[in-house]
Amino acid sequence: MSLAHDVSTIFRRSMRATLRNPVIVIVGIMQPFLYLFLFAPLLTRFTATPGFGRGTALQVFVPGLLVQQALISCSFVGFAIIGEARAGVLDRMRAAPISELGVLLGRILRDVVVLVVQAVLLLAGAYAMGMRASLTGLLAVFVVLVLVAAGTASLSYGLALRAGAEDVFGRLINMLMLPVMLLSGVLLPMTLAPGWLAGVARVNPLSHVVAAVRALFLGSSVVSGTVAVGFALAVAVAAVSVGYGVRTLLDTRR
C-alpha cells in the first residue's frame, strides 16, 4: 500500500477516537483562552518598556501563546500510544501492511488538525480583543505551527514508547518541555531577560521560532532574517523528531 493510504487509514482511525471524546479538544483550548483574557491585558502598560518590542501587547503576546499551545497540545499525545501498545493495538497495526512512517504520520496529522482548530479559535478570540495581523503573515504562522506540532508530537510518541509507562513518560515530558518553554519567550520576549538568561535562550531553537512568529505578526517578510532562521530551525527539529519517532517504532517491535 502507498504511504498516503497508510497515513489516511491511521488518521481516520485516530480522528474518530478524538471525535468520540471531544472534551479533550475543548479542555485543551481553555488554558490559552484564560491566558488571553486574564493575562494579556496586564501587558498593556509594558509596551513602552525597553526590550518589549514594537507592536501592541496582543501582537507580542498572542504569537507566543500560539506556539505554547502547539507545545502543550502535542506534548502529551504519547499517553494514548502507551495504552495502545499495552493493549496490543499497536502490534495489530504493525501486523497489517502499514508502514511505521504511516502509523506515525497518521497520528501526527490528527494532532495537527486538532491544533489548527484550537489555534483558529484562539485567533478569533484575539481578534475580538482588537489584535490585527496580515493574512499572509497568519498563513505563514500556521505553517510554522504545523512544523512545531509535528516535531513535538513525534518526540512525544517516541519518548512514550521508550518510557513504556504513563508515570515515567509524564515526568520525562514535563522535565523536558518546561525549560524549553521557559527559555523560548512564549509569554514575554527574551529581550526583557538579563544577559545571561538571554544568552542561554539563544541556544534553544524554539526561542528563534517564537521570534519568527512574532515578526510575522508584526508584518515582517517571510524571507526576512528572523523569519528564515526560525522557519529553518522548525523544519530541522521536525525532521529530526519524525526520524526519532519512526526509529523508536522500529526499535520497539515485539
For the chain, give the percent of residues with pLDDT over 70.
98
How do residues 186-232 score in pLDDT, each as one tens digit?
Answer: 888 888 888 899 899 999 999 999 999 999 998 888 888 889 999 99
- DSSP class of residue 224 equals S
Give the pLDDT score at 173.
93
Q: What pLDDT sits at residue 254?
A: 55
Q: Are 234 and 71 in contact (CB under 8 A)?
A: no
| 17-27 confidence digits (pLDDT tens) | 888 887 777 88
Share of the chain above pLDDT 90, in %: 47
Question: Cα dist. 91→100, 141, 217 in Å?
Answer: 11, 37, 44
The Cα 184–Cα 43 span in angstroms is 18
Length of the chain: 254
Spatial distance between the Cα atoms of 251 and 161, rounded to a whole number of angstroms: 10
**Per-domain boundaries in the chain:** 3-35+55-251
User: Residue 190's pLDDT is what?
Assistant: 85
pLDDT at 1: 59
Q: How confident is the model at residue 147 (pLDDT cuts 50, 70, 90)?
A: very high
Closest to 140 (Cα-Cα) out of 69, 226, 55, 36: 226
Which triple of cell numbers denotes residue 84? Answer: 495502545
Q: What Rg do the C-alpha atoms of the chain give, in angstroms?
A: 19
In single-letter form, the type of residue at position 29 comes to: I
CA–CA dist 201, 139 (Å, integer): 26
Q: Kindly tell me the burial class for residue 162, based on how many C-beta atoms sit within 10 Å of its own C-beta (0-12, 13-18, 19 or more).
A: middle
The mean per-residue pLDDT over the stretch 71-80 comes to: 91
Supply the pLDDT for residue 188: 83
Q: At what angle do helices 100-128 and 57-75 cross, to 10 degrees?
A: 150
Read off the pLDDT band of 253 (50, 70, 90): low
What is the full DSSP assignment across 130-199?
A: T----HHHHHHHHHHHHHHHHHHHHHHHHHHHHH-SHHHHHHHHHHHHHHHHHTTTSSS-GGGS-HHHHH
How many Cβ atoms from other residues are within 10 Å of residue 82's Cβ?
A: 20
Amino acid at the residue 11: F
